[in-house]
Amino acid sequence: MARGRPKEKVRWSKLYSFNCVRPSVQSDLDRSPSLLGPGYSRVVHCNKPLVHRKKPLRYPTNYISTTKYNFVNFLPKAIFEQFRRVANLYFLLTAALSLTPITPFTPVSMIAPLSFVVGLSMAKEALEDWQRFMQDMKVNRRKFNIHTEEGQFGYRSCQKILVGDVVKVEKDQFFPADLLLLSSSYEDGICYVETMNLDGETNLKVKRSLEVTLPLDDDDAFKDFGGTIKCEDPNPSLYTFVGNFEYERQIYALDPNQILLRDSKLRNTSFIYGVVIFTGHDTKVMQNATKSPSKRSRIEKKMDSLIYILFSLLVLISLISSVGFAVKIKYGMPKWWYLQPNNTTNLYDPSKPVAAGFFHLITALILYGYLIPISLYISIEVVKVLQAMFINQDIQLYDEDSGNPAQARTSNLNEELGQVDTILSDKTGTLTCNQMNFLKCSIAGISYGVSSSEVEIAAAKVMASDVSTSLDLQSSNQDLWDKQASTFGSSEIVSISCYSPMVRREKKSFIKGFSFVDDRLMHGNWINKPDADTILLFFRILALCHTAIPEYNEESGCFNYEAESPDEAAFLVAAREFGFEFFKRTQSSVFVYEMQISGYPIEREFKILNLLEFNSKRKRMSVVVRDESGQILLLCKGADSIIFERLSKHGRMYENDTQKHLNDYGESGLRTLALAYKKLAEAEYSTWNDEFVKAKTSIGPDRESKLEQVADMIERDLILVGATAVEDKLQRGVPRCIDKLAQAGLKIWVLTGDKMETAINIGFACSLLRQGMKQICISTLNTESIGKFLLWMDQAIKENMLMQIANGTQAVNFEQDPHEAFALIIDGKALSYVLEDDIKNDFLNLAVNCASVICCRVSPKQKALVTRLVKEGTGKTTLAIGDGANDVGMIQEADIGVGISGVEGMQAVMASDFSIAQFRFLERLLVVHGHWCYKRIAQMICYFFYKNIAFGLTLFYFEAYAGFSGQSIYDDWYMLLFNVILTSLPVISLGAFEQDLSSEVCLQFPALYQQGPKNLFFDWFRIFGWMANGLYSSLIIYFFTISIVNVQAFRADGQTTDMPVVGTIMFTAIIWTVNVQIAMKMSHFTWIQHLFIWGSIATWYIFLLAYGFASPLLSGSEYQILMEALAPAPIYWFSTLFVAAVCNLPYLAHISYQRTFHPMDHHVIQEIKHYKKDVEDQRMWKREKSKAKQKTKIGFSARVDAKIRQLRGRWHRKVLTLNVETAP
């Protein structure tokens, strides 16, 4: 068995100032404070896992499950889910009543359809949950190296890991459970952890073991290892941990720095040893997970209301029928001697009309049950499965890089995709791909870098189009995304010297993280510059001011850098390309290859004296180094606002020019940092270092503040060197996707665990924020001093929150500029207050009036609470999208949850309703599939109610005509086949294949998506319109058919019709009417639709022929009905076609009037495409496209609009200046 690997030598506790001082021994056993009690009852016996599976402990295993069902509860829970549907409950009752003598149908005809529908729906639920189960098993079966016995380690599946097990986790593995870190491959027990799946942050966290466990550094060391951990009970707090570790008769305090959480990842560390504290659903990440909910779409919920309406109609006509029957029995039955009224049952006893009417009420409820379509649910299930298959098989949603297609993990919510109002998105791994590109820099007041950002390129394209064609600015702007994103930065971009002299990018070999182009600095040309000393210092700051670790890549022959942030990695790549390659770090030094004029590198060593880390409060990072000449330098990088206020009087030489460059970089969507330095005298440094060491080694709650104060002392009187500008590399297509979604009228919120500065920078990069947008920042930073003066600190902070919200609301309401946009930015601590009941509505009102909302430093639980607030507060459809375990709560809380499967970790995908490989696929998922699915399901349901009303009411009319006898005019087989065979396939083709517009046109006209959120195709007006159409059709079908065949001979020999003939003629008219109606409803035909529609009509005739040829014992009075009675009679063919035409004339008139005088958006586009005007008249096509966009203040187009307004303003000012200068 493999032993521990050689120990890395860097002792990071010597470098890090703020978080690497070890706790001392707390006490001995006799004086240890007890943690046992409510909330602190966990006891873990290290290296004794079996103890924890016995009473009284009985800790759970490491098995996890995200399924809705299991083998025990599937049957009762699935049956409950099915009979939550009102229609199914009704048909269960009618199926039970069909076993009684009062039923008008046979029991089989009632029980079989219900069993088929419910069984198929349950089978679909079981299949979808089985897929979730298989994904769970993929996680549960991961293999990990576990201590077995006598210092031997062996691989065991994740689900079999127990509390107390010692686990060896190797580099780039996920932690299988919550662990206490015992030791690592580093000499002092430090390890790097990536917590992206937990809090969304990409920067690596430093964890440290207790010093007492450092000797446990190889497999043999665990042969006799034992200890006891007493700690807090399982809870969802990711950032806290309280516990004690009893080891070798001593007790050591534990804090979050020693805890490795499940689903975080080991990075930059060869291996670690840890002991399991929490397993399975006790782990903190699973404690943050909410129970997998049963979600229902809004359309399905509204369909229940429709069922109630139809049920009310059913009860009404059944009451009318029962009253009519009671009257007939009381007054008519005594006269009908042939029915033997004196020798009958209670069903027909003229002396008991009330009882007879009651029994007939039950008969009528069953007879008219066709008003409530039982096959609607099964048809919808079939259609949704087909829609899910189309989503899964859409090649445009397939990601070639990862090999992951889109996946509809549940088909119940397809139509919800077309009704989304607000998108709540995670940041890391969802919007970003954690890659920065070094693009520009400012050194000594001179800007370098001729490459253009995507914002600059897009603006230049629009301006070029504006100048060359004089087309309308807005219509030109709408075509920004018509070309592939890959054209950005290519040589196809036209250079416009009068507006942007540097929009053309030079072709060069691609270097990840480095897109800088400028020969003034490249290839050593900077050496000849007059300010070469400043440039040298700039490059050295890039190469030295960081905490990265170099790793030599043998394939490329270059060094790769494992950095805490992507910015640092980009700076190091840039320094390397400029000739300053960082290649080695020891405990006390950093080594850099510096390129010389001769072209050969020289190795230089810089002693690292102190390192002051970056954090969100400091907004800067500094390193104190000693160069080879003995000079001590403080090198600092940070936010420009922080650096500029710390400059000395003689260090502001380049401030104005640098500030101008920073503004230009910001307008171009780039992330910026300012760089400065300071020379330190030996005595000055020595005095400061004494204070620093004293603060660093202090123990107590004020240690952090002491370190910040000491750091602040040295980071003053700086000399400005320059500034950097990096382009934040979002996932491919993210700006386009956000732009299109914004134009589709969707609101986008970003919920991230990252610090506020990072989130704001990402907001700029993906165009949720832009230069000039007014930011409303709500935080508790301004309330820290309140508690010193007020007794009730929480109440004071609440009042401060309300004041900040009120001020923001006032600013939004009083703004007069139509182009002005507001962004709301709030941190997690402030959220904990504003999410309380007495504040949350005010916060929501402010948020919905802002163009974009960014929530920073939010916990997984807060993400879920914000999602719930938006969902319940607005009453509109919400969609949550994320990629990590920290996003599971909001994914499950939202109406629709979308998981990103293109990044590491499967927790989000397993909890989601839909999964896609990258954020950019969300555009097509919503704008195309969402739009299609919503319209298909809405039209399908409306049509279903129409055809069932048209069919069901004819039964009522005939019963009234036949003295309320309960007699059906149709044969039982006709009624059984009506929904199952004869009209099911056309309606399924409508729900599965209907397209009002092609996918390409949907993407070109994103505002069409608003038909879903506005519910234009399933509002009450449209629903009642279709019901009225069904009522009209039923009246025409019944009374026209009766009128035609009632007053004349049916056949040439003078024979009149009987009831089977009348029923068959009427049923044929219904089949023609409803199928012609659905053909008129469709706007997209393939051979499938033609086959299903006309094939259904043909199937009716084939069935009628076959049924007639069957034995009279089966066909009864319908024996040979087509060949002998109907086919030879011309009136049969005339009446059916005539009635069908009259029934569909009002709909034809309606759509003709609507398309002519009040066309909807898709009607106009359909007409343009039909007459090929999009090809013949490009100006008109662009104009229509520009009109079909929602006005928005976020997105790339809005950002380019702002850039264009700025460029135009500059150009006009320049023209005015020239005119003034040339004026006589």
CB 387 within 8 A of CB 108: no
Is the backbone peptide bond immediately before 293 cis, with ω within 30 degrees of 0? no
Q: Which amino acid is it at 507? A: K
Rg (CA), the chain: 37
Distance (Å, rounded) from C-alpha 1055 to C-alpha 1045? 11
Q: Is residue 426 flagged as an active site residue?
A: yes
At 516 the three-state DSSP class reads coil
Percent of residues in the chain assigned helix, strand, coil, to nearest 5: 50, 15, 35
Distance (Å, rounded) from C-alpha 287 to C-alpha 233? 11
Exposure letters 440-452 (e unless 16+ CB within 10 A, then b): bbbbbbbbbbbbb
Tally helices (H) and strands (E) across the chain.
40, 34
Q: Within 10 A of 1073 (CB to CB), how many other CB atoms are there?
A: 25
CB 868 within 8 A of CB 852: no
Q: Reading across the β-sheet that carries 190-194, which strands appear in turn?
A: 205-208, 190-194, 265-267
274, two tokens: 């840890």
Q: Within 10 A of 795 (CB to CB), how many other CB atoms are there?
A: 11
Distance (Å, rounded) from C-alpha 211 to C-alpha 269? 18
At 301 the three-state DSSP class reads helix
In the chain, the N- to C-terminal Cα span, in Å, equals 93
Distance (Å, rounded) from C-alpha 538 to C-alpha 534? 6
Q: Within 10 A of 337 (CB to CB), how many other CB atoms are there?
A: 9
742, two tokens: 């914004």
CB 487 within 8 A of CB 700: no
List the one residue out of 1192, 1187, 1190 whose CA is nearest residue 1159: 1187
Given the residues 219, 426, 567, 739, select the one marked as catalytic.
426
List the one residue out of 1191, 1208, 1006 whose CA is nearest residue 481: 1006
Q: Which amino acid is it at 279? A: T
Phi, psi of 573 (to 5 degrees): -65, -40
Q: Which amino acid is it at 216? A: L
Q: How many whole angstroms from its chain centre is CA 759?
A: 17
Q: Within 10 A of 202 (CB to CB), how many other CB atoms are there?
A: 20
Q: How far is CA 970 from CA 281, 958, 973, 1077, 1135, in A?
A: 58, 10, 8, 22, 17
Phi, psi of 510 (to 5 degrees): -75, 130
At 321 the three-state DSSP class reads helix
- Tokens 């997970």 identify what position? 289
482, two tokens: 């018509």
Identify the DSSP state of 885.
G
Identify the DSSP state of 406.
P
Angle between helices 1178-1187 and 1161-1170 (to 10 degrees): 160
CB 189 within 8 A of CB 183: yes
Angle at 386 between CA 744 and CA 89, to 5 degrees: 100
Distance (Å, rounded) from C-alpha 303 to C-alpha 313? 15
Phi, psi of 856 (to 5 degrees): -110, 160
Q: Count the residues in the chain.
A: 1224
What residues act catalytically? 426
